[in-house]
Each structure stands twice: as C-alpha cells, then as structure tokens.
Amino acid sequence: DTAVSQTPKYLVTQMGNDKSIKCEQNLGHDTMYWYKQDSKKFLKIMFSYNNKELIINETVPNRFSPKSPDKAHLNLHINSLELGDSAVYFCASSRYNEQFFGPGTRLTVL
C-alpha cells in the first residue's frame, strides 16, 4: 500500500553513463514532482508535471529529462552523468497542496 514509490533506492554508476529513476504513485494525485537534495540537505525542485503535462522546469541541465507516461508515473532520465549529479532524488505527488514524498533514490556518480 505504498503511496509514492521509487526505484532503485540506490544507484552507483560511472561518470558518462545514462541512468533512469522510476516513480509511481497510487494516491490518484494529478501532480508529480522531482526534487534534488544535495549533500548539504538543500531540497530543490527540478520538475513538475500536472496531468502528464510539464508545468515546472527549473534551471536544470538538459541532460535531465523527465517523462510522464501517465498520471501515476513520472520517470527521470539522466544522460552523461557527472560527479555533481550525486545526490538524493525525491519524487513527490500532490492533489491540492500537501506533497507526499517517495523514499528517495541515492545516486552516486564515481
């Protein structure tokens, strides 16, 4: 009965690789988000989708590409990974105001 789930939980990869993180919510929410939390715990919005439509696209390198196949899923694909991409990535969803966060994916780029 997990509300917002992410896979994988941990991701260790080499610089230059391409990787994807998947997110699914079973709450019936219409809006989903991707956040990046760096080593200093700063939580920053990256993208937001509402009903599969991109509504927020913060200043994020275009190596990051979100994809929303349906309202319940928002995946994040990252090309040509760099050391600075190492962080915890959180997916979240909301219907009105309260945002529910997934457990996070810890990405380590070596």
Q: Which of 1, 40, 83, 84 binds other proteins (CB under 8 A)?
A: 40
Asked if residues 9 and 23 have their Cβ atoms less than 8 Å apart, the reply is no
- Which of 28, 39, 41, 69 lies at the binding interface for other proteins (CB under 8 A)? 41
Could you tell me the CA-to-CA distances from 15 to 18, 33, 50, 107, 110 in Å, in that order?
9, 25, 32, 12, 6
Q: How many residues bind other proteins (CB under 8 A)?
A: 21
Q: Binding residue for other proteins (CB under 8 A) from 50, 65, 72, 77? A: 50
Q: Per rule CB under 8 A, is residue 84 in the interface with other proteins? A: no
Q: 3-state SS of 53-74?
A: EEEEECCCCCCEEEEEEECCEE
Indicate whether 1 belongs to the interface with other proteins (CB under 8 A): no
Chain contacts with other proteins (rule: CB under 8 A): 31, 40-45, 48, 50, 55-56, 90, 94, 97-104
